[in-house]
Chains A and B, each alone.
Chain A
Amino acid sequence: MTQQMLTRRQMLKLLLASGSTAALAACGAATTTQTPTSPPANDEAETGAPAVVSEPGSTVNITYWGSFSGNLGEAEQAMVSSFNAAQSDVVVDYQFQGNYEETAQKFTAGLQANTIPDVILLSDVWWFSFYVAGMISQLDSLAQAEGVDFSDYEPALLNEGVRQGKHFWIPFARSTPLFYYNKEIWAEVGLPDRAPETWAEFEEWAPQLIEREGTTMRRAAYVHPNGASYIAWLFQPVVWQHGGQYSTDDFTMTMTDSDTLRAAQFFQDSARSNGWATLVPDINTDFIGGTAASMMASTGSLAGLTSNAPFDVGVGFLPKETNFGCCTGGAGLAIPSGAPAEKQQAAMKFIAFVTNVEQAGVWARNTGYMPVRISTKATPDMVNFFNENPNFKTAVDQLPLTQAQDAARVFVRNGDQIIGKGLERIIINGEDPSTVFTDVNAELTRVAEPILEDLREVEG
């Protein structure tokens, strides 16, 4: 009955939430750096590593559960192989466990039956649940032992996984939203070859981008995903741009603040009274098919869109409203608690390796995820890659301007869907934003309550 859960839509969700795509490979020669067998000699993670598990002849075998399959899986496997080849203390076994949701489900079930991995990939909306339940380890002492230099990690990405000054979730496969436009349509209607600076500017452009046939819109200026394809992730930056937010850091829900409502009204008008946007389950297909001229989507879709679209794909920073706003997404690595110290240390060694300056670049170039290390951007391979893929450069340039999402979406279990379904009511049913968000606010508050209780227990 529930076979084959990963569908195109979920696939998309995965992409939107995470970003993926090995097809960046198709864009440039730089991807031949798939052979990172050279030992990471000048990486601080290796040089400073005390030999905790390196008694001669003893090899620690650890299991790594991840959500990467297909080309991403190959890239991940290559990374694991190069780790295994680069040192002899630890052998990592990478096992694909399904998409993010299924990986988290398996981890949950595994915790009950005591069949858990030593390293696990958890998405932005998952890691916090395991943290609150005390199921993932605090990594600072382990990282220190491996000589990990946290100051070189992109702070926007790293700090999300920090609670009370301690690191629990290390950024690995991270993405952000990006504004995509169809250069061919842009040229056809005579727009400048760039993303709109502001939403007001885009609203001026929109009428020219639309194409109608009777009552059917044959081409929309812009396309929204639905709740299941993570509209709440893409609405997050729009709320910030309007000066609002989903919630405050202490889990006070702010869905009914006037600026949040203003953003909701903007989304409603885009699809209804102003009529330049549509809402579909699969935005990438509409964009590639030319039935939508632009969209916000994950940086992770960049390579796939570039190689599949029969036109030139343009990208830009998200448009501003009152101010600029952009959020992060994707997945990071965690170490389950309860494992023997030796295994935990081995797991940290692996995490340090895959997020070192060189490997972060290999991974970003092979997959399209953001480089998680600051100094990676200056490496020659990366500079070459940027020159050949200016769109990817744009995506990376936007990264320092991003911030972590509001608690309502990532820390409240199902918060993403509660907000997403609310937006569907506003956009599809045309219901009054303040009525809908009053409901959403109440529901988020109710669901957040037990989480707060747990949090107080964990953090005091």
Chain B
Amino acid sequence: MPSPRERHEWLLFVLLIGPNLALFAVFTYWPLIYNFYLSFVRWNFLRPTKPFVGLDNYANVFSSAQFWTIVTNTFVFAFFSVGLTLIIGLALALLINQPLRYRNTARAVLFSPVIMSGAVVAVVWSYIFDPRYGLIDQFLRPLGIASPNWLSDPAWAMPAVIIVYVWKNLGYAVVIYLAGLQGIPRELYEAARVDGAGPWARFWHVTLPGLSPIAFFLSVTSVLATFQAFDIIKVLTDGGPVISTTTLIYHLYTLGFVSYDAGQAGVVAVVLFMIMLVLTIIQIRYLEQRVNYG
């Protein structure tokens, strides 16, 4: 039996979190459930009826030759985007988190792509990538290197998308890391120094543990965000050339808003959700255990 005090706390918990959850229920979970239902029917968004078709939509999606390429693309994109963002972001944050002049300027510049709309960013980069008069070619030409055909060559399109994505989101990781770094109580550094810990020891025993909640947060949200990264791909490559940069979310968009096949789009929505759910649970299981809540 919970004590009255405990019960009071439960009630408060519900009051505080209730409005948020209620909004989620209506505007986020309901659409998910609706999509789950749609994955078993045939519907083109226009017909008055939605005949039940069992697992037909699932069979259609999974039997498509492209589907597994698309799944691979999704993981390749997520892995490299998250990995590069988190590692480069940490290195930059650590280097910048010193009493340096123009530190705030650097942070502002780094953060500026984050606040730019993805479509604008992608448009600018499509110029930069142009093999004949793009910025990259301007730098490669004096070196005698021919610029790859970034956006028209299936081998280079995915790296190009990853570069732009990392470029746009790096500043976000840096700012989050910096907020985390600055939240580490300075007394801990002092104490470590008094104990005779060198810079490396301080990094391993103070900085990293102090940063771990924020790093955990970044890894989870970055993975989830890359699985839903849409506008850069849409503008930069439209999922091409052929399907070399088509990810699950782009596939979902195509099925839903180009093919108007609500059933198959529902299948991909369910698959995408399940993948993200599993990845998040794994991260919570294995990462949050190691997170140090000071």
Touch test A–B (CB under 8 Å): yes
Task: Take A130-B46, A228-B238 as given contacts and tell me if A4 and B258 are in contact as well, using a CB distance cutoff of 8 Å.
Answer: no
State the Cβ distance, B169 to closest chain A Cβ, in Å. 13
Of B80-88, B92-100, B226-234, B276-284, which binds chain A?
B226-234
Across-interface contacts of A282 in B (CB, < 8 A): 126
| B132: nearest chain-A partner, CB-CB | A291
Partner of B234, one of A7, A111, A112: A7
A421 CB–B CB distance under 8 Å: yes
Count of B interface residues, CB-CB < 8 Å: 43
Of B115-123, B177-185, B195-203, which binds chain A?
B115-123
**B254 adjacent to A226 (CB under 8 Å):** no
Count of A interface residues, CB-CB < 8 Å: 47
Across-interface contacts of B237 in A (CB, < 8 A): 281
Interface residues as binary, B130-149 with A (CB distance below 8 Å gives 1, 0 otherwise): 11110000000000001100
Partner of A281, one of B46, B231, B238: B238
Across-interface contacts of B117 in A (CB, < 8 A): 3-4
Interface of B is mostly: loop
A216 CB–B CB distance under 8 Å: yes
The total number of A-B Cβ pairs within 8 Å is 113
State the Cβ distance, A267 to closest chain B Cβ, in Å. 15
| B42: nearest chain-A partner, CB-CB | A450
Q: State the CA gap A1–B122 with chains docked (Å).
A: 13
Task: Take A129-B46, A216-B131, A291-B132 as given contacts and tell me if A101 and B242 are in contact as well, using a CB distance cutoff of 8 Å.
Answer: no
State the Cβ distance, B263 to closest chain A Cβ, in Å. 10
**A429 adjacent to B132 (CB under 8 Å):** no
State the Cβ distance, A239 to closest chain B Cβ, in Å. 20
Partner of B238, one of A9, A133, A413, A447: A9
| A279: nearest chain-B partner, CB-CB | B152
Q: State the CA gap A285–B129 with chains docked (Å).
A: 13
| B119: nearest chain-A partner, CB-CB | A4
**B240 adjacent to A226 (CB under 8 Å):** yes
A95 CB–B CB distance under 8 Å: no
Return the 4 tightest CB-CB contacts between A and B, nearest first: A228-B238, A4-B119, A133-B46, A7-B235
Q: A130-B46, A414-B260, A424-B242 are in contact. List 13 more A-B contacts (CB 8 A).
A: A2-B234, A7-B123, A7-B235, A8-B126, A9-B126, A133-B44, A216-B132, A279-B152, A413-B259, A414-B258, A417-B254, A417-B258, A421-B243
Residues in A lying within 8 Å of B, measured CB to CB: 1-10, 101, 105, 108, 111-112, 129-130, 132-133, 135, 214-216, 218, 226-228, 278-282, 285, 289, 291, 413-414, 417, 421, 424-425, 428-429, 439, 447, 450, 454
